[in-house]
Amino acid sequence: MTRTTYGDNLVVTDRGGVVENTHEIHAAVTDADGRLLFYVGNPHRITLIRSAAKPMQALAVVETGGADQSSFDSVDLALMCASHSSEERHVQRARQMLVKVGATEDDLRCGGQPSITPQVTEGWWRDGVTPTAVYNCCSGKHAGMLAGAKALGAPLTDYHLHDHPIQQRVKRAVEEVARLPPSEIIWGIDGCNMPAPAYPLISLSHSYALFAKASSDLGRDAATTERERWMGRIYDAMARHPEQVGGDGRFCTMLMEAFEGRLIGKLGADACYAIGVKESEETRRLGARGALGLAVKVGDGNYSILYAVLAHLLEQLRIGSSGEREALKAFHELKMVNSVGVQTGTVNFQYKLHSVL
Amino acid sequence: MTRTTYGDNLVVTDRGGVVENTHEIHAAVTDADGRLLFYVGNPHRITLIRSAAKPMQALAVVETGGADQSSFDSVDLALMCASHSSEERHVQRARQMLVKVGATEDDLRCGGQPSITPQVTEGWWRDGVTPTAVYNCCSGKHAGMLAGAKALGAPLTDYHLHDHPIQQRVKRAVEEVARLPPSEIIWGIDGCNMPAPAYPLISLSHSYALFAKASSDLGRDAATTERERWMGRIYDAMARHPEQVGGDGRFCTMLMEAFEGRLIGKLGADACYAIGVKESEETRRLGARGALGLAVKVGDGNYSILYAVLAHLLEQLRIGSSGEREALKAFHELKMVNSVGVQTGTVNFQYKLHSVL
């Protein structure tokens, strides 16, 4: 018989000391040269990166000239990279982006859905709001795609389909930033109806390190290509407008607010996550060259466990001060309490963070 | 490095053919003699059975004489075994039980919480309802415990604590029905603030087979002990009032409605489940003596996967007709669709159901 697996890559929750749930963790920590520095589980796990692809999707859009032609500012850029909470500020901004593009909500090919934040959905129910496409957490990305399609002179209809010129640009941008041949990236369809790439965690981690490096290079006028400059601007947009990338109380927002520009972080659905950290004494201490990337996937798609693991990994790697990481305490020290507030168990980080160097 | 585990006890979801999430499954199929007939993963997994303990908790209450003294009928008995959806009929019934006991909502030691069914919670938000203790999905069980405490002449206060006389009765009932010594059962605290036992899945499966056997014996006047008669009545209460045990659209309710008295099924939080099937040609074909029990735990606590696995196991074991199992189709053939209704992937039952006999 199969024994219950207790590998070296698990988070285990208990109740009264008895194992309740087990969650498999995979993580890769790399640098801007793509070298693997640390890992948990299988850093080569082929992973559907979902919305962690947004910075690369935004890159494809800005490289068409579409962002400039539509007069998108850095807040718009941040919303293109967002899985926002559909708060009023996000929905309004998405509407404004559509106006700038010269498109309407009818052009969006995503559907309406509940907010990622239950309190926001609760408010809609109270106020009788029916969420339409512009309320979709990916509406900024979709508005951006319309700008890209327009700049390419391609039809706005079907901008979400794999064969559309803007999606072919996305495909190439994802391949090139991941430094992978087309044959090593597999495409599915995302929750918001756009192509969704799958590739190894180590390459996702590398991609985010490249965004962080591009921002540093941009800041000291050392960016040598148009692409690097755009990657730096995308990083800066996310880092400067974290409230657009997630929302009130969301991990992405609180992480980037706490680190004040020193990193970007982005959630992907089903508990995938990527972080890019600018080069500093901290990243050099970890053996990184240029910048540091971190990519994580929880095997069963559990978000609470994902956030706890991210906060725990930042602590293990000593990225940021304890003061900065304090902002993530509620995510890190997951409270296992019942309906009357009694603590019933704990979260145990039983995985091993392997060092490669 | 750890390779991503693809054991023989997994459910795997994919997106465009790429593995998205993996879920570890453990299951035990036994008969009323406690013999293991089939299993998935580790049938001996020590599992916090959570609300799957409710028939045993109800047994402890009725054996105090408390149910009779409070004039509980079979609907009340069913609600004592429920993780109900807090629909109006459930909340009203729980209030009536409190009146019968001579207690008030202030005596309940569970807290209010959202309904298991989001649409019910949505209704509360629309109507400005704040869920109090009587709305808790376990309010029937808690009202029952008050009846038991009263029958024992014990204080109503603190009926939920491990040392209270009614909980000591529960402890003994759980041990005796599981046929396990006290040392093999570990107790935590449940979400509703009552003691929660943990023990091997195989023993949970056995317990439910015993409830099914008791109902058959009761029906043909062959029950020989007071306990057997009570176990038969608890089974019958659940089987006759499935709408009390869960709620509209809930798996427990739809399963029991479809099988019209031939089985009972009960959910436990964090994706544990137990089913007891009365002896029939079907159970004998599977090699069972007396009745059949089935217990399942999804390692990471995912409910959608749990329900899909249960429907799949019933099909694999050919329990019920295809017409009866049709009622569970929406749980079995989980639709992986996105915000505009496009199918994005599939659910793959990659586990092996091992036969022991």
Per-residue pLDDT of A312-333, as tens digits, reads 999 999 999 999 999 999 999 9
Q: Are B57 and B170 in contact (CB under 8 A)?
A: yes
Q: Which residues contact A194 (CB under 8 A, 6 or more apart)?
A: A57, A109, A110, A138, A141, A142, A145, A160, A167
Instruction: Mark A115-151 as b/e (b = at least 16 C-beta within 10 Å).
Output: bbbeebbbbbbeeeeebbbbbbbbbbbbbbbbbbbbb
pLDDT higher than threshold 60 for residue B25 = yes
Spatial separation of the C-alpha atoms in residues A159 and A155, rounded to whole Å: 7
pLDDT at B313 over 80: yes
Q: Where are the beta strands (DSSP E) in B255-355?
A: 263-268, 272-278, 291-298, 336-337, 343-349, 354-355
Give the rounded percent of residues in chain A with a pLDDT score beyond 90.
93
Query: What would the mean pLDDT of B285-306 be, rounded to a whole number?
Result: 98
pLDDT reading at A122 higher than 90: no
Q: What backbone torsions phi and psi does residue B51 show, to the nearest 5 degrees?
A: -75, -5
Position of tokens 């109380």? Answer: A249
The stretch B61-69 carries a mean pLDDT of 98
Question: Rounded to whole angstroms, how far apart are CA atoms A166 and A169?
Answer: 5
Residue A3 CB burial class (10 angstroms; 0-12, 13-18, ≥19): exposed
**B297 touching chain A per CB within 8 A:** no
Tell me the mean pLDDT in the region A250-274. 98
Nearest-angstrom CA–CA distance, B6 and B136: 38
* Whether pLDDT at B214 is above 80: yes
Burial label, A292 (beta-carbon count in 10 A; 0-12, 13-18, 19+): buried
What local confidence, expressed as pLDDT, does residue A276 receive?
Answer: 98
Given a cut of 70, is residue A74 above it in pLDDT? yes
Interchain pair A26, B4: CB under 8 A: yes
CB contacts, 8 Å: B187 with chain A: 16
Q: What angle do CA A11, A13, A18 make, to 5 degrees?
A: 125
Q: What is the mean pLDDT of residues B66-78?
A: 98
Instruction: Kindly calculate the radius of gyration of chain A based on its CA atoms and give it in whole angstroms.
Output: 20
Complex ipTM more than 0.95, yes or no: no
Q: Is pLDDT of A125 > 90?
A: no
Give the mutation candidate from B4, B5, B19, B51 for the A interface (greatest A CB count, under 10 A): B4
Would you give the end-to-end CA distance of chain B in angstroms? 38
For the beta carbon of residue B343, count every other beta carbon within 10 angstroms: 10
Q: How many whole angstroms separate alpha carbon A4 and alpha carbon B47?
A: 11
The answer, yes or no, to whether residue A237 has pLDDT greater than 90, is yes
Q: How confident is the model at residue A4 (pLDDT cuts 50, 70, 90)?
A: very low
Give the sign of the dihedral formed by CA A203, CA A206, CA A207, CA A208: positive
Mean pLDDT of chain B: 96
Mean pLDDT of B29-33: 98
* B27 has pLDDT over 90: yes
Q: Which of B264, B219, B307 is nearest to B77 (CA)?
A: B264
Look at residue B332 in the predicted model and tell me its pLDDT: 95
DSSP letter at A269 equals: T
The confidence score (pLDDT) of residue A223 equals 82
Mean pLDDT confidence for A192-196: 94
Tell me what the mean pLDDT of segment B249-268 comes to.
98
| Residue B77 binned pLDDT confidence (cut-offs 50, 70, 90) | very high
Mean pLDDT of A329-344: 91
Rounded Cα distance between B229 and B219, Å, is 10
Q: Does B268 touch chain A (CB under 8 A)?
A: no
Determine how many CB atoms are found less than 10 A away from the CB of residue A216: 18
DSSP A141-156: HHHHHHHHHHHTT--S
The CA distance from B254 to the nearest CA of chain A, in Å, is 26
What does the buried/exposed string (b/e) look like for B269-279 if buried means 16 or more CB atoms within 10 Å of the residue's CB?
Answer: bbbbbbbbbbb
Average pLDDT over residues B274-280: 98
Distance from CA of B224 to the nearest CA of A (A): 36
DSSP labels, B275-291: EEEE-SHHHHHTT-SSE
Q: What is the mean pLDDT of chain A?
A: 96
pLDDT of amino acid B19: 96
Interatomic CA distance for residues A255 and B267, integer angstroms: 37
pLDDT of res. B6: 60
Interface test with B, best of A3, A340, A347 (most B CBs within 10 A): A340
Provide the pLDDT for residue B1.
46
| pLDDT score recorded for residue A6 | 60
